[in-house]
Amino acid sequence: ERARDYLHKTGRFIVIGGIVSPVHDSYGKTGLVSSRHRLTMCQLAVQSSDWIRVDPWECYQDTWQTTCSVLEHHRDLMKRVTGCILSNVNTPSITPVIGQPQNESSQTIYQNNNISNKPTAAKILGKVGESLSRICCVRPPMERFTFVDENANLGTVMRYEEIELRILLLCGSDLLESFCIPGLWNEADMEVIVGEFGIVVVPRDGADPDRIMNHSSILRKYKNNILVVKDDSNHPMSVVSSTKSRLALQHGDGHVVDYLCQPVIDYILKSQLYINASG
């Protein structure tokens, strides 16, 4: 939620959906419970959201999929289902773009320039096919849509095929830091993830993403494709941690309610997940 808010504040993006993709059972991480449980917990966590959905594709494959292949799957699916152009971050465009900054000499279609650096709550007629029908679950109707600045009440008409979309990887700074570990990531995959898709990074545990980026030639090369979320609230996003949640459950720590919503806690207790014999 806060990553989306930050992207909107930049004036460069309209986030139309989020995808949660639980990892395959064969990933091999210690303590990883069955994907059946993880899919259910994720679905319970986002059941009240009108823009985030859980995608089981990664779990349903025959074996573990790389992060790069998962991103490519969703890019190809979105292109096939919607007919939209999936933009490469380095590809210049002559049409208005969702998820790519406009030429500075032209007016951004979803931002009112009269308001200092603050994008309006852009209204898209039909919400771009109800947010591309919940991010490619079904094919949206191919109609003409108008991007509307709610203050100026003006817009640019375009077809779905003229809208360019971007898929970005949302991660914590701990994952970004793992890019710097020699041999851990395939370098060709890193080039695609950072160079073609782009990353949205949430700082965690006081980590400095700028320092991390300076330790990797690929991250330095594509630094402009890495967006670091600035958290202005009194409750930093770094407190959100699946590791802390599991430890709290194992030790009977009531502070687990700080990390999890009640339906997820109820499911964990009912299914006896993460709780050791003495818990």
Residue 37, in any domain of the structure: yes
Residue 215, in any domain of the structure: yes
Return the minimum-mean-pLDDT range out of 8-12, 225-229, 270-274: 8-12
Per-residue confidence (pLDDT) for residue 79, from 0 to 100: 75
Residue 114, in any domain of the structure: no
Residue 52, in any domain of the structure: yes
Give the chain's domain count: 1
Q: If you average pLDDT over residues 206-229, what whole number do you get?
A: 90
Residues spanned by the domain of 73 = 1-82+163-239
- Let me know: does 221 contact 85? Beta carbons within 8 Å: no
Residue 274, in any domain of the structure: no
Q: E strands of 18-160, at which residues?
A: 18-20, 52-54, 85-86, 123-124, 144-148, 155-159
Residue 25, in any domain of the structure: yes
Does residue 207 register a pLDDT over 90?
A: no
CATH number of the domain bearing residue 62: 3.40.50.620
46-81 confidence digits (pLDDT tens): 999 988 999 999 999 999 999 999 999 988 887 776
Confidence of residue 124 (pLDDT cuts 50, 70, 90): very low
Return the minimum-mean-pLDDT range out of 1-10, 98-107, 209-218: 98-107
Residue 149, in any domain of the structure: no
The percentage of the chain sitting over the pLDDT mark of 70, rounded to a whole number, equals 65
161-181 confidence digits (pLDDT tens): 445 678 999 998 889 999 999
Q: How far is CA 118 from the centre of its chain?
A: 22
Per-residue confidence (pLDDT) for residue 276, from 0 to 100: 67
Per-residue confidence (pLDDT) for residue 208, from 0 to 100: 85
Residue 13, in any domain of the structure: yes
0.75 exceeded by the pTM? no
